[in-house]
Structure 1
Amino acid sequence: MDELEFRRRIMSDPKHRNSDIVDAMRANESHSKFVDDINELDAHIAKAMNVDVPDDLADRILFSQQNSREHDNVIKPNFVRRSMAMAASVAFAVGLLVGQVNWGNVFVTPAQASLADTAIEHVIAEKPFVTHLDEQVSSTQINAKMQPFHQQLDKSFPYHVYYLNHCGFGDANALHMVFAGEHGKVTLFLTGISSTSVQDFVKEGMAGIVEPVGNSSLIIVGEKNEDVATLAKSILNIIKPMPI
């Protein structure tokens, strides 16, 4: 057995003694010295680990945990109070800023912007389909299509209607109408998506307007030189909520 193998065996199990180990120790004094050193080290380690446990150790641990929890309970409320105070200060500052700005003139809600974009995309996509249609739609037919939106006409529709149907409108449905304007065909959408204020828009060479109608929205899209605001006003004057 060479020296490396001898040391490996002694290190892995200092108490192990077989005939090979015993023969190697007898043949080589340094092997015996190595075994003695390892056994002495083992004894020191065992002595160092043999520490008496204080009788009140469990009580000390429990007491320490209790103090730690009480400390945390003090820190957390203080932190929360400071955070809330900071948030209140920020909110106050923002409130002052909001009060100084007329946001109605500079802010358009994402929902209203989406209504305008969806209407324009719809008009462009369906233009080849509706261009040559003339269904000569009556006011009775318009009222039937308006029922799902809980609205109705209280007078005859004042413009010639070429096309009328329901259609998908973004994530909702809409009444889709094409009627005669002053400068060409005009498209009207009545959708259950609500809007909060009037919005004029010009996109893709077309003019449009979004008008709130109760919990629904009326969107009108025409040629760029079409007076869509006047059209919307005349139509809104004859649209009334259905009786409950």
Structure 2
Amino acid sequence: MDDLEFRRRIMSDPRAKDSEVLQAIRGSDANAKFADDIQSLDAQIKQALQVDVPDDLADRILFNQTESTVIKSTFGKRALSLAASVAFVFGLLAGQVNWGNLVVSPAQATLSQIAIEHVHDEMPFIAPLDEGASEQQINAKLSPFAVKLTEAFPYHVYYLNHCGFGDSNAVHLVFQGDKGKVTLFLTKVPTEKSLNFSEGDMAGMVDPVGDMSLILVGDPNENYKKIGENIKKILNPS
């Protein structure tokens, strides 16, 4: 893939992670920086378009329809029709309407849900990689988050990059734990207290790091508290 095609692919889909894109990112510092910049811009645009609307806006729109429409349509059909309407979207100036269980925006999802979905989505692409990232490479990715490692990372690193994380960005790192591979996300989305989570064949922990959050995801039998402590004790403001 040449540089022009790579830039076209990233600009059309900032979260593209197919094998050709990943190979282009790993093979060029310029490509890696361009991908980071586009992902950051994408997150900023999404945040700028996040417009608060009244809680009862959906009900008002629905009840303003004619009585015959209400009789003929179920609530779910009306919601999907409205959501699909270009006029409706532009009328709200790209705002988001809460349709209950029909639509869940990234901002409404929990950090753990975003992390688990991210791991599932990228597992096929990341599973065969073994980059063996060094302390210096990790610190380069950590620098936009104003933190750094004060000594070598205590686990073997298979994968290291930036990624989009909900409406924010994150450092995305995959390393070897005691029970298998563990995925780490460090994001500027804050959390108030530590919590453990489990879903299906994955489990993990969300832990506050200053005004950021450290998320660990992997095998349910990992000791995430111990891993988190080992990482946080060598992670300091830069």
1:226 Cα shift? 1.1
1:114 Cα shift? 1.1
Q: Which has the higher helix share?
A: 1
Work out the CA distance in 1 between the residues paired with 2:232 and 2:189: 17
Does residue 153 of structure 1 match 2:149? yes
Within a 5 Å distance, the mapping from 1:78-227 to structure 2 comes to 114-227=110-223
Query: What letter corresponds to residue 228 of structure 1 in structure 2?
Result: Y
Q: Deviations over 1:145-177 (max 9, x none)?
A: 001111110111000000000000000000000
Work out the CA distance in 2 between the residues paired with 1:189 and 1:111: 16
Query: What letter corresponds to residue 131 of structure 1 in structure 2?
Result: A
Work out the CA distance in 2 between the residues paired with 1:139 and 1:205: 30
SS in 1 for 2:128: coil
- Give 1:62's aligned residue: none
Moved runs in structure 1, 4+ residues, more than 4 A?
110-113
Work out the CA distance in 1 between the residues paired with 2:117 and 2:176: 20
- Give me the TM-score of the superposition, normalised by structure 2: 0.54
- Give me the TM-score of the superposition, normalised by structure 1: 0.53
1:204 Cα shift? 2.4
Q: Deviations over 1:181-207 (max 9, x none)?
A: 001100000001011100110112111
Work out the CA distance in 1 between the residues paired with 2:109 and 2:204: 12
Work out the CA distance in 1 between the residues paired with 2:107 and 2:214: 13
Question: Structure with the greater relative contact order (CA < 8 A, sep ≥ 6): 1 or 2?
Answer: 2
Work out the CA distance in 1 between the residues paired with 2:145 and 2:109: 21
Work out the CA distance in 1 between the residues paired with 2:220 and 2:202: 4
Quick check: 1:161–1:180 contact (8 Å CA) kept in 2?
A: yes
Work out the CA distance in 1 between the residues paired with 2:176 and 2:198: 19
- Give 2:12's aligned residue: none
Does residue 236 of structure 1 match 2:232? yes
- Pick the structure with greater CA Rg: 1
Quick check: 2:163–2:172 contact (8 Å CA) kept in 1?
A: yes
RMSD: 1.6
> Aligned pairs, how many?
133
- Give 1:88's aligned residue: none
- CA 1:112/1:231 → structure 2, altered by over 3 Å: closer, same or farther? farther
Work out the CA distance in 1 between the residues paired with 2:121 and 2:214: 19
- Give 1:80's aligned residue: none
1:229 Cα shift? 1.3
